[in-house]
Amino acid sequence: MPPHLPLTPLHPGAAVALVVNAGSRRGAAALPDVRRLLATAGPRRLDVHPVVRGADLRPALEAAVAGGPDLLVVGGGDGTVGCAADLVAGTDVPLGVLPLGTANDFARTLAVPTDVASAVDALRTGHVVDVDLGRADGRVFLNVASLGLSVGVTQRLTARAKRWLGPAAYPAATLAAYRHHRPFAARLDFPGGDHAPLALDDLLQVAVGNGVHYGGGNAVSPTASVDDHLLDVYAIVRGRLRDHVSIARFLRDGSFVEHERVVHLTTRAVTVSTDRPMPVNLDGELAAGTPTAFAVERNALHVVVPAHSTAARLDGRDGPR
């Protein structure tokens, strides 16, 4: 972390910008408490930017950043946080995350509490670390980019389902998507030369992970990290139903990557091409399409993590070579 960045950016005298996506699962209900709790910390300036419509999110974030805050606090789900990360990546503005969405996988990776009061307190007592960002043809993703089954899941995850079912909406949507999945073939090329090209057939899914968690708490792999300067890449080959049930049992801890029908490797860059054009899911948003070039942007984002968080255990190191 650069020495001029404060260890605890939420302090008396700080200029704080707050953007809350009121359309996120808990955003509207949490806004009054968040505003009050932040004000209690005694910042010299607190600029609040509530967002009601999705189309207003980026303009609100741009306005917040243009105000020159010492800390940008964002309340919402992974899509909201990802949009903010894209704007402050490469700058000195640290990002504080309030998990007000459905999955909140980036907040889970950082060990940010889901309780609003505890999450705000973590901004006051925590510290700033550097984490990596994933890029898919230049577009940011925090957690995982994927194609195949996950796209079908995203298409079935309606706002109403997420609001009413919460995290339970993910397994329900996965089951529905699995029933209608069409297998595909993919080629993986590695511009860094660290792996030979891979041609894979009869696939269920290909995923490229930057963070640790995705899909409401599943783990990318047992060794995944948000600051190891590597992407975790896995491909699931279609099999019998019992194979997929076996894989699903180990999604939570990431050990599914050891299954015989899963190909797993790490790299800094990979290009994925498919036998037909396919949409790519970036942290729950369909925002790209194959062929897609994926890369990791090292130490791109300053984020506030709780004092006890081990999310950025490699912070300040060069990481794997």
Report all structural domains of the chain as residue ranges with CATH numbers, in order of start. Answer: 15-125 (3.40.50.10330), 139-297 (2.60.200.40)
**Whole-structure pTM over 0.75, yes or no?**
yes
Question: Above 50 in pLDDT, residue 3?
Answer: no
CA dist 317 and 106 (Å) reads: 21
Among 65, 117, 112, residue whose Cα is nearest residue 90: 65
285 is catalytic: yes
CB neighbours of 209 closer than 8 A, spacing ≥ 6?
134, 143, 144, 145, 220, 221, 224, 231, 232, 233, 234
Mean pLDDT value across residues 210-225 = 91
More confident residue, 38 or 7: 38
Given pLDDT bands bounded at 50, 70 and 90, which one contains residue 321?
Answer: very low
Interval 230-250 mean pLDDT: 76
- CA-based nearest residue to 98, from 168, 28, 20: 20
Of the residues 62, 260, 285, 297, only one is catalytic, namely 285
The reported pLDDT for the residue numbered 52 is 87
Give the whole-angstrom CA distance, residue 231 versus residue 229.
Answer: 7
In tens, the pLDDT along 59-92 reads 999 999 999 999 999 999 999 999 999 999 999 9
pLDDT of residue 189: 98
pLDDT digits (tens, 9 = 90+) for 142-152: 999 999 887 77
pLDDT at 165 over 80: no
Point out the least confidently predicted range of 180-194, 251-265, 266-280: 251-265
Averaged pLDDT, 280-292: 90
